Structure 1
């Protein structure tokens, strides 16, 4: 965790921002929950457990700042709420993909890059340099399918 804090501190300092205690709380919450897709409200509720004086507006501003500096990425899974996840741990230029259950809302991460062949074809055919892609697949998770079968 200290390596991540140092890395974010360097990013912020290079753009003339400081690592405030509030920003560090937000970063720690995102790091501690990197396997989840937290909304701003989720982050706020977890930050409040660390420091009750941190306000919701501060959390929103911090998430926006971190997003602008590619420290985190925001995603929309079709439910009208932005979700956030830390990107520093996986900064290879590609995002992972998500399976989204339309029944219960569960989000499953796929770490396989299924679109490499497609990217290559697009690059060759259209002479287009791809910097990133995102794939969301909607359906029903194993639990919801098995509940329906009973």
Structure 2
């Protein structure tokens, strides 16, 4: 989904929930639809106040909470850091660089198949899972 379509989807979900789409919320929704990283609330707030200095941190938190409750975004509480947000979408896993805090998305069919195989062998079906790997870049020799 393109940025403009994603932004309209956020707005439509909020309207259906009876939430007014104020100028500050429009700015926050646009930032979310344009982002490709995993910003925390403070990063979203900083980006938003560059566009509109009147936006409050509490507006950012309330908007993120509403979108999370609707399933439009996902919140990740990666070990050792603040909660980060990303657009809801296709399944992927995360590698977190413990030195920089960078979050790298990846998908591995091998890992997915192995998880299914393990669950099946134990008599289970996977309903939901989250995989987070923590590491640091190897030093070249």
What's the TM-score once normalised by structure 2's chain length? 0.83
Give the stretch that moved more between structures: 47-56 or 72-81: 72-81
1:101 and 1:2 map into 2 onto residues whose CA distance is 31
Aligned to 1:23: 25
Aligned-partner Cα distance in 2 for 1:99–1:22: 32
Provide closer, same or farther for how the CA distance between residues 103 and 2 of structure 1 changes in structure 2, counting only shifts above 3 A. closer
Shift of 1:110: 0.8
Alignment of 1:50-61 (within 5 A): 50-61=51-62
Q: Does 1:133 align with 2:135?
A: no
Indicate the RMSD between aligned Cα atoms, in angstroms.
2.1
Q: In the alignment, does 2:74 pair up with 1:73? A: yes
1:18-73 CA-to-partner distances (Å, cap 9, x unmatched) read 32222221111122222x11011000000001111110111111111111111111
Report the CA distance shift for 1:127/1:103 in structure 2 as closer, same or farther (over 3 A).
closer
Number of positions where the alignment pairs a residue of Structure 1 with one of Structure 2 = 138
Long gaps (5+) in structure 2: none
- Kept in 2, the 8 Å contact 1:106–1:141? The answer is no
Aligned equivalent of 1:83 = 84
- Deviations along 1:91-133, one digit per CA (max 9) or x if unpaired, are x4x3x11111222322211133522442354257434451x21
